[in-house]
Structure 1
């Protein structure tokens, strides 16, 4: 079976998308499915390119057993839209930006919103916790845990 390639995207790739990558990787490792997936994350912007995940996000993720190891990079519209099967944005602006980057190509069909996979979310998007306090980082992890479980269930049902 061919590996399913998933790219998680947020604005700067230092809070939400590296967390989604870590949460999803944790789920597939728990289920012994890591051989069936390639998972990465990227940002709409290159503001933080080359930087690790935000220290506050890392701290909250570690409390839940997730290790954020990715290094920030911007979306590469040529390579990423060709290589990945699913490109999952965290909020409505990320979706609009991704659609603009993919405009005029079939790649638009690869774009999804993270919260569309939530089983128990009452949020329409994963909010950016960057300028907030601890509760924002915890909310992001709550939403990502729900959405990643839903995403994995969705992918298992496709097989």
Structure 2
């Protein structure tokens, strides 16, 4: 078996979108018995929420879909740029901030937007921050992340030569 593919999901504070992406990816990875092929983590641009659980509303919406969003927030570090194979950001501001951390072209090539993987939401170019919105914003985040995570896992399965069925 080849080395695990490592994924880091990044949003602004690591309390809504990126921990949800981490939880959804963990869930579908387990569901497809691919835990031996993928390492998953999340981080935020800022350190404001370091050590905190995800936003209670995000956890509640995730739980309603059968997901566990219980990772603790942390800030992205320079060593993450080397450690992870893929760094997946939620919006253009995250992309700008993480790209500014990259020291090499190789590190810049690791960075992509979550919506780059979405197949069923063509009008969305970002996973919007639901923090100041209502319930529909949290549900949209989950829908976008499910779409993107499924396609990303499909690509990882192909890389490892593993059968992947949706």
Residue 34 of structure 2 corresponds to which residue in structure 1?
33
Normalising to structure 1: TM-score of the pair?
A: 0.96
Please list every run of 5 or more consecutive structure 1 residues that lacks an aligned counterpart in the other structure: none
Residue 98 of structure 1 corresponds to which residue in structure 2?
98
Residue 7 of structure 1 corresponds to which residue in structure 2?
8
Asked whether the 8 Å contact 2:59–2:70 carries over to 1, the reply is no
CA distance in 2 between counterparts of 1:3 and 1:113 reads: 21
Residue 43 of structure 1 corresponds to which residue in structure 2?
44
CA distance in 2 between counterparts of 1:5 and 1:158 reads: 13
Please list every run of 5 or more consecutive structure 2 residues that lacks an aligned counterpart in the other structure: 161-166
Cα displacement string for residues 85-129 of structure 1 (whole angstroms, at most 9, x for unaligned residues): 000000011001010011445211110100000010121110000
CA distance in 1 between counterparts of 2:37 and 2:98 reads: 25
1:56-67 to 2 correspondences below 5 Å? 56-67=57-68
How many residues are treated as equivalent by the alignment? 158
Cα displacement string for residues 7-30 of structure 1 (whole angstroms, at most 9, x for unaligned residues): 000000000000000001111100
